[in-house]
Structure formats: C-alpha cells, structure tokens
Chains A and B, each alone.
Chain A
Amino acid sequence: MATSTTWATWTSTLCDSTASSDTWHSWISDSTSTSTHDKFPSGTTWHSWASTDTYAILPGNVIEFEPTILTHKQIQANLRTDNQTHINRIWIQMEKEEAEAIAHDLLEDLLDDNQLEIYKNTGRVLVKGRKHDYIVRRHGTTIKRVGKNKVQDLCCHLSYPYKNQLPPTDDTIAKILAIKYDEEHFNKLANHHHIRNLNELPDAAKAA
C-alpha cells in the first residue's frame, strides 16, 4: 500500500537520521497503540488504520467514521453554488454602490457647493442649526455638537429595522434634515455623551 511505503520511508530515513529518533523509539515503545512500522510491535494498528477508514486514534480508543464521497453531480452542484454566491456578492456590492450614488444626488439638493466638496473629501458635513453647529459624519452614529466653547458628542441613528440598511449618505441626509428643521426635537432624542472644552482640543482642530 502506498501509504505504508511512505510511512516506512519516513520512519527509516527521517527519524533514524535525526537526533529525534531516540525520542521516537521511546514514544512508540511506550505508547504502542499508535505505531505501524514492522519493526515496531504496533504495526498491526497501522495496517488496520491505513486499510480502513479509521482516521483518529486515541489511547485505548479508536474512532471510526464514514468518509464523504461526493458524486460528480454533487461536485458540479457545489461549484455552481460557489459561483452563484460569488456572483450574488458582486451584485449586492453593485446595488449598494448604485444606492449610494442615488443618495448622493439627493444630498446635492440639500447642501451648497462648498459643503458638498468637504463631504466628498472628508465624509463630514458642517450643519448650522439655530442654536448650535453640528458635524455629521457619513459613517458612524456620533455627531459633534459645537457650542461656544464646548464640543459634545451626540449619538443617534436610524431606528430598527432601518439601521445600517440604507446607504451611508441617506443616513447622513436623515441627520442633516433632523438638525436643520427639527433641531430641538433632535437634541432631545439624541443621547448626550462626552463634553470637551475647546481648549482641550489639539491645535490643528482649533485652527480648523
């Protein structure tokens, strides 16, 4: 049997020619249930293992299982499924990109050219409310509310089941509209988190 030949070659060359051969001999003579070579007493176990479907051997316990043999049709079916999964993934990505482009068209109706340019470059938009200014990001749920000397993190997002289902720019549009035209309500519903004084910010942020 081919596997026996390989095994014999391995044990007679690799193990015998290295310093680890002593360890090997010690191991197989102590735990005889795992050895297979003819010159070792457990050779029978090896032949049994190589000629049957036994793949896992534990001390004193042999676990046997039936190997799964796929027919040609099953292999073809699996390949078709893999290909379809790949196509579906590409298709979903294309749909997401298309949806984001549509959302961006709608955003253009709400922002001026300067705001749009900043949004394209940074993924952020400065929204001027009646009481405060806000920095809304394309990704993430945190909005920075900029007051006279303070910056506060507000957290809000689309409710379930809409959260993370709409394109990121639609999420931005929802927040911009809420701030611009319903600022008081927006400040009530958003969770208020960390507040920092402007003098705690890095110099670059203060200059900006």
Chain B
Amino acid sequence: MGQMNILSTKGDSKQIWDPSKAAEVDVAEGVFNKLVNKKNYKAYHVGARGKKSNVMKKFDPDAEKMILVPPIIGG
C-alpha cells in the first residue's frame, strides 16, 4: 500500500492507494500532480524513520510513503 501525507490545517490528510489497482493509482497520481505541479507543493519520499528519502518530482506508485509540504519562502 502506498500512502501520501498532505500537510494541512487538520494536521495532515492521507491518500492511500494499492499499487496493483489502477483506479486508485490514478486518483493518487491526480492529487500528487495537482499539488506538486499546480500548487508548488514539495513531495518527499520518506522511508522508515526518515531513511532512504529524497525529493520527488514525479509520482511513484511504488513509493511506500510520501509527505507533501506546502511551499516554503524566505522570511
């Protein structure tokens, strides 16, 4: 199962998908593309305890866990 945590006012909202089900993958990919490409969110692929992590530019249905973060700017 893949999981996408999207930071929000509620803490975070979760988008879960089964990589073997195309419909679920499509929905998750749609959410990913909307947030990353249109709203400039950053997507991080995180492993257990923060290991094997990197910035994601494209949706990977096999990524176990991603965190999507709203854009940061200089203050």
In the assembled complex, A181 has its CB within 8 A of some CB on chain B: yes
* A/B pair count, beta carbons within 8 Å: 95
Question: Which residues on the B side are within 8 Å of A98 (C-beta)?
Answer: 10-11
Is the Cβ of A166 less than 8 Å from the Cβ of B74?
A: no
Is the Cβ of A158 less than 8 Å from the Cβ of B74?
A: no
Residue of A155, A157, A162, A191 most packed against chain B (CB within 10 A)? A162
Is the Cβ of B10 less than 8 Å from the Cβ of A99?
A: yes
Residue of B8, B48, B70, B72 most packed against chain A (CB within 10 A)? B72
Is the Cβ of A103 less than 8 Å from the Cβ of B55?
A: no
Considering the complex, give the chain A residue whose CB is closest to the CB of B70. Answer: A162
Considering the complex, give the chain B residue whose CB is closest to the CB of A98. Answer: B11
Q: What's the tally of chain B residues with a CB closer than 8 Å to chain A?
A: 26
Residue in A101, A106, A189 whose CB lies within 8 Å of B73? A189
Q: Which residues 160-190 of A have a CB within 8 angstroms of B? A: 162, 165-167, 170, 173-175, 177-178, 180-182, 186, 189-190
Is the Cβ of B70 less than 8 Å from the Cβ of A159?
A: yes
Docked Cα-Cα span, A182 to B7, in Å, equals 18
Query: Chain A, 108-120, contact with B by CB distance < 8 Å: what is the 0/1 string?
Result: 0111100000000
Residue of A99, A166, A177, A190 most packed against chain B (CB within 10 A)? A177
In the assembled complex, B16 has its CB within 8 A of some CB on chain A: no
